[in-house]
């Protein structure tokens, strides 16, 4: 088993001080902290917007700031953004899994998150300048939908939102467009879950926001494998056209990162590595990926964008985002 695994290339390296943040670090009572959004502020500081779950089972967001993005975190002394069920009933049971995109056009950070209410999880947007005050734009995608993030600029004149509606038993990744971040349409299927025995069969979802590269939009997505012992959340790669993000250029065949470390294997939800954010180093290539480990703590893995793109070129699957339709057609 050991020798087999050694033959796969390691693209994302776990930080030796993982998990870098746990509920024990919190300045107020918290059950678990996980699935953080990430961004670099104007002065280079790393900001994580962490999902904090309390003992009611409800989540809110809390900001943690660090100069090096690894340690020395300064954590807000109280929740940074709390659910507002009186004005937003869709947030009755909490807000979860934020993703941050800085949008130059409006000079603001857009936070896309899961609003969890009586109708199920939906996709909501909020805008902020400073992570102290927030303007909610409301629900962009009605339930059942999650795993969403905004592109940093307009494409073909419109903002673009990547998201994951549930479709019966399956779940595929879609992209939708808006002139004003409030009205969404032009929905296009972006990446289909494969079927059968694949690691990403039946259910896929966007992990952190897309990464803009000269070769295209690089997507890190998760595939959910259902097993007799529960679900396995693993990460794969795909690349999409810069002008037409619904057009998949390349999709990798294998997963590149999955739960292996004890803190990913054990926790409230075992076998989960769930990134919602990254930062990019000053060289434009070093990727620091922040992820929730077992829905319990926050961990960091680093890699190079150039290595992910090279791996994709070397490990491209035959499909172009259509799942394994072609494989089935050929049977
Ligand atoms: C997904 C999301 C994540 C969570 C994961 C594993 O559906 O709800 O918040 O980390 O399941 O439990």
CATH number at residue 106: 2.115.10.20
Whether 304 is in a domain gets the answer yes
Whether 10 is in a domain gets the answer no
Q: Is 272 in the pocket of ligand 1 (CB under 6 A)?
A: yes
Are β-strands 273-280 and 216-227 bridged in parallel, bridged antiparallel, or unpaired? unpaired
Q: Please give the DSSP secondary-structure letter assigned to residue 311.
A: H
Closest CA to 318 of 308, 310, 328, 309: 328
Closest CA to 294 of 37, 65, 40, 33: 33
**Cα(51) to centroid(ligand 1), Å:** 11
* Buried b or exposed e, range 309-325, using 16+ CB within 10 angstroms: bebbeebbbebbbbbbe
169: confidence class by pLDDT, cuts 50, 70, 90: confident
Q: In what order do the strands lie in the sheet with 286-293?
A: 13-14, 297-304, 286-293, 273-280
What is the extent of the structural domain holding 278?
Answer: 18-321
pTM for the complete prediction? 0.96
For CA atoms 124, 70, 18, 1, the dihedral sign is positive
Q: Please give the DSSP secondary-structure letter assigned to residue 16.
A: T
User: How many structural domains comprise the chain?
Assistant: 1
pLDDT above 90 for 302? yes
* Beta-bridge partners for 211: 218
Token digits for 262? 């004890």
Residue owning the nearest CA to atom 9 of ligand 1: 97
**140-153, pLDDT tens digit by residue?**
999 999 999 999 99
320: confidence class by pLDDT, cuts 50, 70, 90: low
Q: Is 295 in the pocket of ligand 1 (CB under 6 A)?
A: yes
| Res 330: pLDDT | 59
pLDDT above 60 for 1? no
Percentage of the residues of the chain whose pLDDT score is greater than 90:
91
Q: Is 96 in the pocket of ligand 1 (CB under 6 A)?
A: yes
Per-residue pLDDT averaged across 197-207, rounded? 97
Q: Torsions phi, psi of 59, nearest 5?
A: -110, 150
Token digits for 300? 């960091």
pLDDT above 60 for 4? no
The SS3 call for residue 1 is coil
Whether 327 is in a domain gets the answer no
**Cα(107) to centroid(ligand 1), Å:** 30
Residue owning the nearest CA to atom 12 of ligand 1: 269
Per-residue pLDDT averaged across 36-43, rounded? 98
**214-237, pLDDT tens digit by residue?**
999 999 999 999 999 999 999 999
| Res 113: pLDDT | 98
Token digits for 210? 């897309």
Whether 242 is in a domain gets the answer yes
Is omega for the bond preceding 113 within 30 degrees of 0, making it cis?
no
Whether 127 is in a domain gets the answer yes
| Res 168: pLDDT | 82
| Res 5: pLDDT | 52
| Res 183: pLDDT | 98
Between 315 and 304, the more confident residue is 304
**Cα(90) to centroid(ligand 1), Å:** 18
pLDDT above 80 for 325? no
Q: Is 274 in the pocket of ligand 1 (CB under 6 A)?
A: yes
Q: Give CA separation, 11 vs 49, 219, 256, in Å.
A: 25, 14, 7
Say if residues 112 and 98 touch (Cβ distance below 8 Å): yes
317: confidence class by pLDDT, cuts 50, 70, 90: confident
Q: Give CA separation, 315 vs 49, 309, 318, 329, in Å.
A: 33, 10, 10, 22
Mutate to test the pocket of ligand 1, among 274, 277, 299 (most ligand atoms within 8 A of CB): 274
pLDDT above 80 for 326? no
**Cα(120) to centroid(ligand 1), Å:** 13
Per-residue pLDDT averaged across 98-115, rounded? 98
**Cα(331) to centroid(ligand 1), Å:** 34
Per-residue pLDDT averaged across 39-51, rounded? 98
For CA atoms 62, 106, 291, 282, the dihedral sign is negative
Q: Is 292 in the pocket of ligand 1 (CB under 6 A)?
A: yes
Whether 157 is in a domain gets the answer yes
Whether 326 is in a domain gets the answer no
Whether 183 is in a domain gets the answer yes
**DSSP secondary structure, 215-251, as one string:** TEEEEEEEEEEEETTEEEEEEEEEEE-SS-TTSEEEE
């Amino acid at each position: 088993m050991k020798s087999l695994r050694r033959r796969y290339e390691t693209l994302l390296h776990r930080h030796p001080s993982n998990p870098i943040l746990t509920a024990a670090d919190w300045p107020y009572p918290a059950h678990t902290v996980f699935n953080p959004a990430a961004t670099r502020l104007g002065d280079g500081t790393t900001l994580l917007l962490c999902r904090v779950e309390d003992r009611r089972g409800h989540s809110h967001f809390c900001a943690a700031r660090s100069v090096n993005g690894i340690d020395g975190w300064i954590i807000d002394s109280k929740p940074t953004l709390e659910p507002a069920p009186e004005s937003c009933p869709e947030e009755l049971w909490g807000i979860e899994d934020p993703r941050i995109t800085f949008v130059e056009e409006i000079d603001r950070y857009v936070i896309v998150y899961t609003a969890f209410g009586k109708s199920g999880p939906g996709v909501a947007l909020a805008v902020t300048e400073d992570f102290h005050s927030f303007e909610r734009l409301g629900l962009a995608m009605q339930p059942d939908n999650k795993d969403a993030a905004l592109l940093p600029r307009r494409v073909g004149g419109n903002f673009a939102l990547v998201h994951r509606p549930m479709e019966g038993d399956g779940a595929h990744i879609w992209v939708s467009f808006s002139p004003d971040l409030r009205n969404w349409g032009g929905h296009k299927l972006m990446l289909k879950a494969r079927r059968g025995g694949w690691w990403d069969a039946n259910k896929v979802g966007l992990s952190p926001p897309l990464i803009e590269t000269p070769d295209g939009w690089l997507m890190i997505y998760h595939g959910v494998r259902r097993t007799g012992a529960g679900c396995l959340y693993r990460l794969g790669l795909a690349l999409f056209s810069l002008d037409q993000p619904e057009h998949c250029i390349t999709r990798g065949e294998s997963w590149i990162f999955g739960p292996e470390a004890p803190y990913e294997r054990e926790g409230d939800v075992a076998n989960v590595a769930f990134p919602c954010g990254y930062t990019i180093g000053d060289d434009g290539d070093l990727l620091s990926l922040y992820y929730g480990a077992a829905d319990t703590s926050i961990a960091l893995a680093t890699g190079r964008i150039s290595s992910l793109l090279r791996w994709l070129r070397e490990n491209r699957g035959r499909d172009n985002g259509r799942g394994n339709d072609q494989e089935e057609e050929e049977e």
